[in-house]
Amino acid sequence: MAELRNVDLNLLLLFQHLLEDRNLSAVARRMDLSQPAVSNALRRLREAFGDDLFVRTAQGMLPTPRAQRLAGPVSEALTMLSQALKDQDVFDAATSTRRFRVAMTDVGEIHFMPRLMEVCVQVAPLVRIDSVRVQGPDLPREMETGRVDLAIGAFDEMGAGTLQRMLFRQGYATLFRQAHPTAHAGMGLKAFRAERHLIVSRAAPYGQVNQSMERAGVDLAEHFSVPHFSAVPYIVSATDLLATVPEKLAASAAPPFGLRYMTPPIRVPALQTNMYWQRRVDRDSGNQWLRTLIVNTFAVGA
């Protein structure tokens, strides 16, 4: 309890804001304080915890391992305290100006963002949704600190404090241009292997399709590749390359790019897409609204 007596609420707010902004000047503006006052508060915070907590780098004030361990508990405590000290806010989509940050991959952006933007215009005209690209071990940390409100995709190792809900499962489809001389629905494995393919080299978390193609005898090193899915429809529409992608991407890309798609003659495990959020925001009315919107718009069997 000695440390707790040395930490007032404003120091914890400073800690939370530094986690989110990584910049002393930005935190000073956010807390309506002078930069010397913020620097002094950071000094007191460091003394209270016996750790630097944040280290100045070219990328901003980065948290130390001790600060990263504190991030989740401090953020959760501040959220609970904030909710306890005020009447329960009721999120009004029609008037709210809230900005949500949702982590998703590039293929997720293609599927989710157009419809989310369309629905927001209709029912929440002042609400804004920012897509952010965070993967791997950084994603749970960004959600713990409040820098990311939700995540949608096929992410692994999200941490004990993360809740999730399945949205849908999908297979894979192979895209090709309408005038392709040899590709066609129902083509066999031998003909499939003989075609030229476009490989998405950084397909995580969708890399299982590349593994399946290799098991089927397609030598990935012999084919063209791009790091992300977003360029695939443009390239396939202008070449005789085949690209095997998540089924929903194929369905959305085929009409505007003049493409066709077929079920590939290889075995690929179905891809499950989930929605993830932190337990600490489970009762936040705005987060609840966004989760309900996503489920009603995209979930199969909702």
Determine the pLDDT at residue 27.
Answer: 92
| Least confident residue range of 7-21, 217-231, 285-299 | 7-21
Cα angle: 43, vertex 44, 48; to 5 degrees: 120
Flag whether pLDDT at 197 surpasses 50.
yes
Determine the pLDDT at residue 160.
Answer: 78
Cα separation, 208 vs 170, whole angstroms: 13
The first and second tokens of residue 11, run together, are: 């120091």
The model's confidence at residue 1, banded by pLDDT at 50, 70 and 90, is: very low
- The two domains 99-169+271-298 and 172-262 share their CATH topology (first three levels equal): yes
Determine the pLDDT at residue 203.
Answer: 62
The predicted model scores a pTM of 0.70
User: 172-262: which CATH architecture?
Assistant: 3-Layer(aba) Sandwich (3.40)
User: 4-86: which CATH architecture?
Assistant: Orthogonal Bundle (1.10)
What phi, psi does 34 have (nearest 5°)?
A: -75, 160
Determine the pLDDT at residue 205.
Answer: 57
Determine the pLDDT at residue 3.
Answer: 58
Domain range list for the chain? 4-86, 99-169+271-298, 172-262
pLDDT averaged over the chain? 89
CA distances from 124 to 92, 97, 116, 136, 291 (A): 8, 9, 10, 31, 14
User: In the chain, helix, strand, coil percent, each to 5?
Assistant: 45, 20, 35
Measured in residues, the chain has a length of 302
Q: Which CATH number fits domain 99-169+271-298: 2.10.109.10, 3.40.50.720, 3.40.190.10, 3.40.50.10780?
A: 3.40.190.10
Determine the pLDDT at residue 85.
Answer: 66
Determine the pLDDT at residue 2.
Answer: 41
Cα separation, 298 vs 167, whole angstroms: 7
Beta bridge partners of 271: 170
Determine the pLDDT at residue 128.
Answer: 95
